[in-house]
Amino acid sequence: MELAKKDLVQLLHGQGDNDTAERVEAADLPDTIDTARDADALTAVGLDQQTLLGHLAGGAIGGNLAM
């Protein structure tokens, strides 16, 4: 699945997870995150696959998701 880094940060802030949002912003992640390719970097900022899917289920990222 692909999503824009800025959209993920905005989603996390909107859900009140500001610490994780700031870690994502500071992380060496590309502007377009591929959850499979970037799994290790996402896990390092506290977003393992299950956690990430929980956040995505809790809020919409305006049609920018591609599977």
At residue 64, the pLDDT reads: 46
CA distance 50 to 43: 10
Q: Say if 8 falls within a structural domain.
A: yes
Local confidence band at 66 (pLDDT 50, 70, 90 cut-offs): very low
Task: Decide: pTM greater than 0.85.
Answer: no
At residue 58, the pLDDT reads: 82
Q: Say if 14 falls within a structural domain.
A: yes
Q: Say if 63 falls within a structural domain.
A: no
45 neighbors 24 (Cβ within 8 angstroms):
yes
pLDDT at 22 over 80: yes
The boundaries of the domain holding residue 40 are 2-58
Dump pLDDT digits (tens) for 26-65: 999 999 999 999 999 999 999 999 999 998 888 755 444 4
